[in-house]
């Protein structure tokens, strides 16, 4: 009993420290990003700042598999388990990657302005017309050499487990004839799970897997690509398969 009480107390003390340290450093980081003169400098500030914050709170980011990054444009697809995922993936990927973010994030105080300055693209899945416009823009930018990162589950739940992957990213990759880069994020759910009041200490690991190439531009090929990417991420993310709970569209 005393050891459990001590562990609980130490956990709470760490949570208070990490929350305070995060709150004191994230505002200056956001302001630096917003004030950055170029997109490249803003993304560099975001990467370095996030890495520094996570080290400060005792949750360093370990990245493996950088040798698998394609030289040309690609679509990076990662699992989603925590609000921290966007930050840590930003810290792990080169600055040539833009992020696809749900359109609601654009209105978040400070965060919305920060991610806009980092060049994210907002996607409104609830509007077919807006989604079609966004798709044409993404295809154009991929052909021009940009790369994108997206959380294909579209959301995350409190319960551990990999949800169904939405088909959009894979349809775009197939139409643009660019590879999909599977990326596995581990540890963020332990640090800051859905509904947690205080963070917990844990190392965060990002593993970049070898890219997969679309067979052709057909819808069936995009679905096969989606399933293959999801299977690889599921095998490495250390969480159960929740596909039966949330079937593919």
Chain segment 70-124, per-residue pLDDT in tens: 999 999 999 999 999 999 999 999 989 999 887 777 788 888 999 999 988 887 7
3-state secondary structure 142-207: HHCCCEEEEECCCCCCCCCCECCCCCHHHHHHHHHCCCEEEEEEECHHHHCCCCCCCCCCCCEEEE
Domain parsing of the chain, residue ranges: 2-237
Chain segment 133-164, per-residue pLDDT in tens: 888 888 999 999 999 999 999 889 989 999 99
When pLDDT is averaged across residues 214-226 and rounded to a whole number, the result is: 94
φ and ψ at 39, to 5 degrees? Answer: -60, -40
CATH 3.50.50.60 fits 2-237, yes or no: no
């Amino acid at each position: 009993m005393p050891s459990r009480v001590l562990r609980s107390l130490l956990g709470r003390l760490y949570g208070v420290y990490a929350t305070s340290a995060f709150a004191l450093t994230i505002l200056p980081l956001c302001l630096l990003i917003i004030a950055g003169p170029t997109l490249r400098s803003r993304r560099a500030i975001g990467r370095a700042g996030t890495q520094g914050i996570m080290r400060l709170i005792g949750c360093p980011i370990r990245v493996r598999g950088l040798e698998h990054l394609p030289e040309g444009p690609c679509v990076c697809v990662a699992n989603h388990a925590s609000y921290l995922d966007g930050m840590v993936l930003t810290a792990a990927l080169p600055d040539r990657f833009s992020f696809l973010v749900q359109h609601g994030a654009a209105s978040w105080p400070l965060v919305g302005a920060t991610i806009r300055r980092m060049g994210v693209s907002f996607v409104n899945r609830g509007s077919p017309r807006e989604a079609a416009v966004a798709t044409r823009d993404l295809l154009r930018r991929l052909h021009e050499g940009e790369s994108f990162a997206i959380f294909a589950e579209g959301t995350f739940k409190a319960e551990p487990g990999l949800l169904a992957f939405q088909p959009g990213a894979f349809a775009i990759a197939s139409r643009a004839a660019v590879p999909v880069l599977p990326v596995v994020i581990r540890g963020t759910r332990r640090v800051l799970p859905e509904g947690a009041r205080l963070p917990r200490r844990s190392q965060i690991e990002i593993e970049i897997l070898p890219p997969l190439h679309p067979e052709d531009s057909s819808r069936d090929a995009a679905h096969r690509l989606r399933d293959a990417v999801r299977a690889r991420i599921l095998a490495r993310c250390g969480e159960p398969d929740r596909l039966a709970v949330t079937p593919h569209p």
